Structure 1
Amino acid sequence: MKDKVNEIQISYKDRISISKSPSIKSSSDAAELLFEYWDKDTIALYENFKVVLLNNSNRVKGIYELSKGGITGTLVDIRILFATILKSLTVGIILSHNHPSGKLQASNADIQLTKKIQKAAQFFDIAVLDHVIITPNGNFYSFADNGIL
């Protein structure tokens, strides 16, 4: 008799045609999209970390909320991040988190995390196009625009 094991199922389902999905051409495109989809009731309360998943034409496949944190930080599990990226057959990503304080500056922890994700992404030929920090009033800080990526 064989031992029984759990079945693993991995899926990604298109709900809209990718041709109707927005295309990201700049950091302001990314920030506008992210701010539109951010929960306005919580953006000023606690940090969230999200990733925009892109196809090879920089069309948005989806936005995945990876974590909800506390007032001054949120935990990012890189294994879950890459499980999501790989499941969705994504070739480019834009990382994002919010600063409830409204501070438009990347912390050392933000920079180190981004570099760690960027290094891991290279193994899978995934492009980390930007890391965008969103504030409650809709302003943003782009790592790419500021030469960090």
Structure 2
Amino acid sequence: MEQSIEQLFNIAEVDLVYRSKVKAADRPRVTTSRECYAILKQAWDWNKIDLLEQFKIVLLDRRNSCIGIADIGTGGVTGCVADPKIMFAIALKARATSLILAHNHPSGALVPSQADIDLTRKMAQGGKYLDIGVVDHVIMTSESYYSFADEGLIP
């Protein structure tokens, strides 16, 4: 079956749009893990923090001001899918120059798993190619948090 010229060029159009509802001067700055935790506490669904795992990224500009927080995935009791392609696509669209990975441990344990460590390394490596720094990975619980940066685990 031969295709017509119109069918050969029937493709999707990609449109890139970015609109911020918050003035740059009004964005909170994130310079410590404690500040990041305070921002994440406001954005987290506290009805689910002890129930199931959720993954988010905090998007930062050159001044370490928070551009926004993006929901990446929701999983089950023991894990959640966090796709690096999706995270970097969001970071690029938001014009972020760095990001902070964040997820919760419903168990309440503040010890990173090997999968947490591997994902952090993978994201840091990928970010180098895109000039998007991964400055921290925060593990949340209903009582506290763990910062990869504070513990020297950011490559």
Which is greater in Rg?
Answer: 2
Q: How many residues align?
A: 148
Partner of 1:114: 120
TM-score by length of 1: 0.96
Cα distance in 2 for residues equivalent to 1:89 and 1:65: 17
Equivalent residue for 1:32, pick from 29, 33, 38: 38
Contact 1:44 1:101 in 2 (8 A): yes
Q: Can you give the 5+ residue segments of structure 1 that lack an aligned partner in the other structure?
A: none
Map of 1:119-134 to 2, 5 A cutoff? 119-134=125-140
In 2, distance between residues paired with 1:84 and 1:48? 17
After TM superposition, the runs of 4+ consecutive aligned structure 1 residues lying more than 6 A away are none
What letter corresponds to residue 131 of structure 1 in structure 2? Answer: H
**Matches of 2:18 and 2:76, distance apart in 1:** 29
Residue of structure 2 equivalent to 1:140: 145
Equivalent in the alignment of 2:106: 100
> 2: distance between equivalents of 1:55 and 1:129?
12
Alignment partners' CA distance in 2, 1:9 and 1:99: 36
Q: Contact (CA 8 Å) 1:11, 1:88: kept in 2 or not? A: no
Residues in 1 aligned to 2:40 and 2:10: alpha-carbon distance in whole angstroms: 43
Percent of aligned pairs with the same amino acid: 39
Higher relative contact order (CA 8 A, sep 6+): 1
Aligned positions of 1:60-79 closer than 5 A = 60-79=66-85
Which stretch has the larger CA shift, 52-61 or 3-12? 3-12
State the match for 2:53 in structure 1.
47
| TM-score, with length taken from structure 2 | 0.92
Cα displacement (A) at 1:9: 2.0
CA positional deviation for 1:46? 0.6
Q: Structure 2: which 5+ residue stretches go unaligned?
A: none
The counterpart of 1:57, out of the listed 53, 63, 68, is: 63
Partner of 1:83: 89
Aligned-residue CA RMSD in angstroms? Answer: 0.9
